[in-house]
Amino acid sequence: MKMTMKNMPKKVVITGVTGQDGSYMADYLLEKTNYDIYGIIRRASTNNHNNIKHLLNNSRFKIITGDLADSQSIDNIVREIIPDYFINLAAQSFVGASWQIPEQTFDIDAVGVIRCLEAIRKHAPNCRFYNAGSSEELGNVDYSPQDENHPLKPRSPYGAAKAAARHIVKVYRESYNLFAIQGLLYNHESPRRGEEFVTKKITKKIAKINKSLNYKEEFEPLELGNIYAKRDWSHAKDFVRGIWMMLNQDKPMEYILASGKTHTVKEFIEKTFKAIDIQGSWIGDDINEKFIYNNKILVQINPSFYRPAEVDLLLGDWGKAKKELGWVPEISFDNLIQEMISFDMKNI
């Protein structure tokens, strides 16, 4: 029987598929749908496929080459595939680095979104587009918890780029009647988190410290900047489920995904040590504060890691997503930390 357009499986394009969110999104869609998944990766001299290596033999998962910095590659992909969904999870996503590479950050995180939208406008106007938004758009917050009506007040080039992308998504949605949305996602982590992010930096370094303690080896302490910053942390698995819910509404609406709970970086450190039965204590104040265990310094402050402008508190109100989408986070903060440190202990 010849397959017709009507009964052909739908097609989903995912950018950033080798990253944390992209790889979990591919996992989720391969499990929950019969759709064909096209993961975009950039051409590089060395490929890091660790997060998707379990998918490489799946006949419904296809890797294609593209780059958000190259409009022709994005245009070609959309024109040739005519996707039903385009999920943009690629970005220069490290907030700290955005002060060193502000132009590149804006080109990928804002102008890159225009490249995607233009290709969809021209070749696949029925495609549903999702762009990854961030709580960093809210920056210097006016109130807590923040809801969907909070003004955009970014305090980093990264946050400014994401805020610009939010505006351009709205412009294309209203100008061309596209199903185009940008969710507002608070911090979300997992064992697949990139090593430049503070949570992964903490769990991987603590796994190494634990090994050194067990083998009575010398080690350098974990060094961090502002350990008093408060963040709303969730698991990436919960968020990709929420993204898919947003994409399958009747009308394009944008939502906050968050846990509704806040924790300091210091608390993340404490809970990670506790998860592997290291009961240390803090001594000193401010930049001289240290975490001590058996007279050894395990954690200390390095002022050079402070950002030019800090975001001290982010706390999301996900009530609208619960009411209208039925989305509820399922993985707790403690379970997130346990999963991350267990992974790093196993792979150290």
pLDDT in tens, 273-328: 999 999 999 999 999 999 999 999 999 999 999 989 888 899 999 999 999 999 99
The reported pTM is 0.95
Looking at the structure, tell me whether residues 17 and 153 fall in a common domain: yes
Full domain range(s) for residue 150? 11-191+234-260+314-330
Looking at the structure, tell me whether residues 94 and 129 fall in a common domain: yes
Asked if the model's pLDDT at residue 99 lies above 60, the reply is yes
% of the chain residues with pLDDT over 90: 92
Are 290 and 299 a contacting pair, CB within 8 Å? yes
Residue 5 domain flag: no
Amino acid at 43: R
Looking at the structure, tell me whether residues 278 and 320 fall in a common domain: no
Looking at the structure, tell me whether residues 57 and 22 fall in a common domain: yes
Asked if the model's pLDDT at residue 7 lies above 90, the reply is no
Looking at the structure, tell me whether residues 132 and 162 fall in a common domain: yes
Residue 6 domain flag: no
Residue 171 domain flag: yes
Residue 4 domain flag: no
Residue 130 domain flag: yes
Looking at the structure, tell me whether residues 116 and 221 fall in a common domain: no
Work out how many domains the chain is built from and give that number.
2
How would you write the chain as a 3-class SS string? Answer: CCCCCCCCCCEEEEECCCCHHHHHHHHHHHHHCCCEEEEEECCCCCCCCCCCHHHCCCCCEEEEECCCCCHHHHHHHHHHHCCCEEEECCCCCCCHHHHCCHHHHHHHHHHHHHHHHHHHHHHCCCCEEEEEEEHHHCCCCCCCCECCCCCCCCCCHHHHHHHHHHHHHHHHHHHHCCEEEEEEECCEECCCCCCCCHHHHHHHHHHHHHHHHHCCCCCCCEEECCCCCEECCEEHHHHHHHHHHHHCCCCCCCCEECCCCCEEHHHHHHHHHHHCCCCCEEECCHHHCEEEECCEEEEEECHHHCCCCCCCECCECCHHHHHHHCCCCCCCHHHHHHHHHHHHHHHC
Write the pLDDT tens digit of every residue in 36-86.
999 999 987 567 899 999 999 999 999 999 999 999 999 999 999 999 999
Q: Which tokens sit at 24?
A: 């979990």
% of the chain residues with pLDDT over 70: 98
d(CA 210, CA 207): 5
Looking at the structure, tell me whether residues 284 and 296 fall in a common domain: yes
Looking at the structure, tell me whether residues 162 and 122 fall in a common domain: yes
Looking at the structure, tell me whether residues 179 and 100 fall in a common domain: yes
Residue 335 domain flag: no
pLDDT in the model for residue 309: 87
d(CA 181, CA 169): 6
pLDDT in the model for residue 1: 45
Write the pLDDT tens digit of every residue in 140-188.
999 999 999 999 999 999 999 999 999 999 999 999 999 999 999 999 9
pLDDT in the model for residue 5: 58
User: Which CATH number fits the domain that encloses residue 215?
Assistant: 3.90.25.10
Which pLDDT band holds residue 17 (cuts at 50, 70, 90)?
A: very high
Residue 53 domain flag: yes
Looking at the structure, tell me whether residues 70 and 15 fall in a common domain: yes
Residue 296 domain flag: yes
pLDDT in the model for residue 4: 55
Looking at the structure, tell me whether residues 144 and 293 fall in a common domain: no
pLDDT in the model for residue 8: 87
User: Which CATH number fits the domain that encloses residue 41?
Assistant: 3.40.50.720
Q: Across all residues in the chain, what is the average pLDDT? A: 96
Phi-psi region of 326 (alpha: psi -120 to 50; beta: other; left: phi over 0): left
Looking at the structure, tell me whether residues 91 and 142 fall in a common domain: yes
